[in-house]
Structure 1
Amino acid sequence: MRRKRSIPWIHRYSRFIIGAIASIGAALTAYLTITKLTGGEVGCAINASATTGSCNDVLSSPYATVFGLPLSLFGLLAYLSMIAFALSPYIINPESDRDLRNKLEHWTALFLLIGSTAMMIFSAYLMYVLFGKIQAVCYYCIGSALFSLSLFLLTVFGRTWEDFGQLVFTSVIVAFITFMGTLGIYAPLNNPAIAEGKIPIPIPQQSELIPGKGWEIETKSGESEIELAKHLRENDIKMYGAYWCPHCYEQKSLFGKEAFAEIEYIECEADGANAQPQACQAAGVKSYPSWEIAGKVEPGRLSLKELAEVSNYEGPTNFQYVLPTR
C-alpha cells in the first residue's frame, strides 16, 4: 500500500486518460470519415465569411484527401492504435503473468511514444496549412491537434523512462521522418501547377549535352504550345540562347519539340549550329535565354503563360509543362 501511494497519480492513470482521449478522437474522426464518404456536410459552429472559411471548406480541400482516401480515415486508424497501445497491457493479469505484463507495458510505451510523436508533428503541419494556406477555422481539426498534443505529453510524463536518451532519440527520429514524409505527401499541393496535372520538364544532364547543338528536346507539344509558338513567330518575337545553357533547354522544353520548331531561335554561341553571335550583340543580349518582344529584350526564362500575356496571345492556354523542382 505504501508503494502504491508513492506512485504519482499521472503514472497510475496516464494510460486510462490516453485511452479516453483517443476514444474521443476516434469518435470524432469516424464521424468526419462517414460524413466525407457519404457526401454530407459536418455541423459547424461558425460559417464561412469573406475572410475566413468554415470547417466544411477545410474538409473539402485537397489537403483533406491522402492517397485518394479521407485524411480523417487515417486519423481514425491512428486513434484506434493509440487505444490498443494504451490499454492492451491490462488484458494481462499481473498476478498470473507479471513478466508478460511488464514486457507489454514496456513495448506499448515505446509504440505510444512513436504514435503520439508522429500524430503531434503531422497535426502541427495541418495547423500551419489550416491558418497559413486555407485560412479557415475548423474546430474539429483544432480539437484533433490538441488531442494529439495531449497524447504526446501524457506518454512522456505518464511513466518513468529508464533510458531518457532513448526517449529523446526516438522522439527526434520519429519527428524528422514524419515531417519529411508529410512534406512529401503534400508536395504536389504546394506546387499548384503540378496539382493541376502539369508535367515537370526533364532536368538536363551534362553527360547528354551534344557539342554545338545542346540537348535533344524530349517533350511533346500540345495544341496550345503549337498555337502560341506560331503566334510568337507571326509577331516577330525571337528567342536568343546558347546551346550549352540549361535554362535555354528548359525554355525549349516548355514548348515541346514540335512547337519549338516554330520559334525563331537565334544561337549566340559562336561554335553552335547556325550561330549568329553578331545578331545577339546587335540586340544587346547579355544573358541566356532572352526574348526580343516589340523591339525590347526581356532577359530570363519565361513561362508560356507569361509569353502569352506579353504577346497578347488569345488562343488556347492549356499548357502541359512546368519547370522542374530541384
Structure 2
Amino acid sequence: MIRRRQTPWIQRWSRPLIGGIAVLGAVNTAYLTLTKLLGGEAACPTSGCEQVLSSRYAEVFGLPLALYGFLAYAAMVVFALGPLLVNPDKDKKLRANLENTTWLFLFLGATAMLVFSGYLMYIMFTEFVAPYGAAGICYYCLASALFASVLFVLTILGRTWEDVGQLFFTGALVSVVVLVGTLGVYYGGNNPNGQIADGATVPAVETTSGPAEISLAQHLTAQGARMFGAYWCPHCHDQKVLFGQEAFDQVTYVECAPDGANSQAALCGSIPEIQGYPTWEVNGQYYSGRQTLEQLAQSSGYDGPRNFQNTL
C-alpha cells in the first residue's frame, strides 16, 4: 500500500498565517493613515516616528503613504483568505482555481511590498538613523517592513511551486518595476520642482511680522539663540508662521535634514538634546517642540514689546 504524502504544516496553515500577518499590517497602516488625515501625531517612544512620518517620503501624490500600504495589506488579506470561503466539498474546482490564481497574486504583492519596504528602510537608516541615532527610528515603519518580509517568506514556503525558475524571473521583474517606479515617484512626480539635495522645497511663510515679532527675533539672535529644524517638519513651519516672514529671516536657523538647503545634519546629530523638531537652544538650554513667542520671550529674558500679532 502506498502511503499518501503528508502536506507540510506550513502549507496547511500558510493562508491563515498570511491573512493574519496582513491584518496586522492593515491595522498598523490604518492607524498611521487616520492619524495623518486627522492632523494628529502617532504615539511613539522616540521622535523618529514624527520625523519620518512628516518627511517628504511619507506622502505620495498628496496622500499619506500609509494609505497605499493599507490598501496593499487589505488586498493580501482578500487574496489569502478569500479562497477559504469556498467550500471544497461543494465546489472543488472553483476552490482550486481560486487558490492557484491568488497564490500568484500573493507572491507578486509580497515581492512588491518587500522591495518597497526595503527601500524605505534604506531611507530611514541613511537619512534619519545615521545622523540622529535611535531618535531617527520609526517603529511603525520597522513593523511594516517586518510584516512584508514575513509575508514574502510565507508565500515562498506556503505552497509547492512547480516552476521555481519562472517564479524567480517574475520576482526579479516585479522588483525592477517597483524600484524604478519608486525612484520615479520620489525623485520626479513627488518632487515636481526637482529640488532635493541642497535645495529641497520649503513651504512658504505667508504671514507678515509686526514690530514685536521683529524685535523678539533680533533679541534671540543677539543672545545666540538657535532654532534646529527640518524643511519637511510641519511644526517647524508653524513656528516660522508665528514669527512671520520678516522676523524669521532674522532668526538663526539650523537645517537638520540631510537633503535640506545648507544642511548641518552632522551638527544636529552631535547634540543629544535634539530629539525632534523644532528644538530651540536659548541661553544654553534646549526646548523641544514648537514654542509660543511668549515662551521664547520668557526663556530668553526679552523685555521688549509683546503685542505679538500672529496666531495659529
TM bin (shorter chain): 0.5 to 0.7
Please state how far the C-alpha of 1:105 moved relative to its aligned partner.
Answer: 0.5
1:152 — aligned with what? 152
Q: Which has the larger radius of gyration?
A: 1
Any residues of structure 2 matched to 1:192-203 within 5 Å, and which? 192=196, 195-196=200-201
Aligned-partner residue type, residue 150 of structure 1 = V
1:118 — aligned with what? 112
Cα separation, 2, equivalents of 1:56 and 1:97: 50
Any residues of structure 2 matched to 1:264-279 within 5 Å, and which? none
Cα separation, 2, equivalents of 1:171 and 1:185: 21
Please state how far the C-alpha of 1:195 moved relative to its aligned partner.
Answer: 4.7
Aligned-partner residue type, residue 65 of structure 1 = E
Any residues of structure 2 matched to 1:283-294 within 5 Å, and which? none
Any residues of structure 2 matched to 1:59-74 within 5 Å, and which? 59-74=53-68
2:286 — aligned with what? none
- The count of aligned residue pairs is 190
CA deviation profile, 1:122-153 (whole Å, cap 9, x unmatched): 00000011011233101100010010010000
Any residues of structure 2 matched to 1:305-316 within 5 Å, and which? none
TM-score, normalised with respect to structure 1: 0.56
Aligned-partner residue type, residue 185 of structure 1 = V
Q: 1:159 to 1:61 in 2, by over 3 A?
A: same
Please state how far the C-alpha of 1:92 moved relative to its aligned partner.
Answer: 1.1
2:248 — aligned with what? none
Corresponding position: 1:55 with 2:60: no
Aligned-partner residue type, residue 78 of structure 2 = A
Aligned-partner residue type, residue 181 of structure 1 = G
Please state how far the C-alpha of 1:167 moved relative to its aligned partner.
Answer: 1.2
Cα RMSD of the aligned pairs, angstroms, is: 1.9
Cα separation, 1, equivalents of 2:14 and 2:151: 9
Aligned-partner residue type, residue 180 of structure 2 = M
2:78 — aligned with what? 84
Aligned-partner residue type, residue 201 of structure 2 = E
Aligned-partner residue type, residue 176 of structure 2 = F
Corresponding position: 1:187 with 2:191: no
Please state how far the C-alpha of 1:166 moved relative to its aligned partner.
Answer: 2.2
Which of structures 1 and 2 has the larger relative contact order (alpha carbons within 8 angstroms, sep 6+)?
Answer: 2
Cα separation, 2, equivalents of 1:195 and 1:109: 42
Identity fraction in percent: 54
Query: What SS is found at the alignment partner of 2:13?
Result: helix
1:40 — aligned with what? 40
Aligned-partner residue type, residue 145 of structure 2 = A
Please state how far the C-alpha of 1:110 moved relative to its aligned partner.
Answer: 0.2
Corresponding position: 1:132 with 2:137: no
Counterpart selection for 2:103 from 82, 91, 109: 109
Cα separation, 2, equivalents of 1:126 and 1:36: 18
Cα separation, 2, equivalents of 1:158 and 1:98: 20
Q: Identify unmatched segments of 5+ residues in structure 2.
A: 130-135, 203-260, 262-312
Cα separation, 2, equivalents of 1:173 and 1:69: 27
1:94 — aligned with what? 88
Please state how far the C-alpha of 1:191 moved relative to its aligned partner.
Answer: 4.3
Any residues of structure 2 matched to 1:162-177 within 5 Å, and which? 162-177=162-177
Cα separation, 2, equivalents of 1:117 and 1:74: 15
Cα separation, 2, equivalents of 1:25 and 1:177: 23
Please state how far the C-alpha of 1:96 moved relative to its aligned partner.
Answer: 1.3
Query: What SS is found at the alignment partner of 1:192?
Result: coil
Please state how far the C-alpha of 1:100 moved relative to its aligned partner.
Answer: 1.1
Query: What SS is found at the alignment partner of 1:10?
Result: helix
Please state how far the C-alpha of 1:196 moved relative to its aligned partner.
Answer: 2.2
Aligned-partner residue type, residue 74 of structure 1 = Y
TM-score, normalised with respect to structure 2: 0.58
Which consecutive segments of 4 or more residues in structure 1 shift more than 6 A?
A: none
Please state how far the C-alpha of 1:45 moved relative to its aligned partner.
Answer: 1.7
Cα separation, 2, equivalents of 1:100 and 1:28: 33
